[in-house]
């Protein structure tokens, strides 16, 4: 079965640079979520989209933005990168936003800031 695809898998940037992470949800999933996971931490919710509209916002810094496109893929744009942004970034998708449907996660992008 098709899973959530994230790219790139690994990304190395320097402080103050920008980065763009991409997420391709499972076909027919209309909701996308972004999470940040630091070492040994649980995933922290950043932002979500339902039918291409932002649906909920968590602890996403103002330096980050995201959007969901007409084909339902999503991109997380990160600017003025800081050392503390080094983390695993996961995207998840689900069918529907308000129902009791499990999220399916991609394998993440590991972002390292030098």
Partner 1 sequence: GESVGLHLPTLSVQEGDNSIINCAYSNSASDYFIWYKQESGKGPQFIIDIRSNMDKRQGQRVTVLLNKTVKHLSLQIAATQPGDSAVYFCAERDTGGSYIPTFGRGTSLIVHP
Residue from 92, 93, 111, 113 that binds partner 1 (CB under 8 A)? Answer: 92
What part of residues 17-36 is at the interface with partner 1 (CB under 8 A)? Answer: 33
Bond into 8 cis (ω within 30): yes
Burial annotation 31-65 (CB, 10 A radius, 16+ → b, else e): bbbbbbeeeeeebeebbbbbeeeebeeeebeeebe
Residue from 19, 21, 48, 113 that binds partner 1 (CB under 8 A)? Answer: 48
**Segment interacting with partner 1 (CB under 8 A) among 13-21, 39-47, 60-68, 70-78:** 39-47
- In the complex, the smallest distance separating the C-beta of residue 43 from partner 1, rounded to whole angstroms, is 5
What part of residues 71-90 is at the interface with partner 1 (CB under 8 A)? Answer: 90
Site of interaction with partner 1 (CB under 8 A): 4, 33, 42-45, 48, 56, 58, 90, 92, 97-100, 102-108
């Amino acid at each position: 079965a098709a899973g959530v695809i994230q790219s790139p898998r690994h990304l190395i940037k320097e402080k103050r640079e920008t980065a763009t992470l991409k997420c391709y949800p499972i076909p027919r999933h209309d909701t996308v979520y972004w999470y940040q996971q630091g070492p040994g931490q649980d995933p922290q919710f950043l932002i979500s989209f339902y039918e291409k509209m932002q649906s909920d916002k968590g602890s996403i810094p103002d330096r980050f933005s995201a959007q969901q496109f007409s084909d339902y893929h999503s991109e997380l744009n990160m600017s003025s990168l800081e050392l503390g942004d080094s983390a695993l970034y996961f995207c998840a998708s689900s069918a529907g936003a308000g129902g009791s449907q499990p999220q399916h996660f991609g394998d993440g992008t590991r972002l390292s800031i030098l």
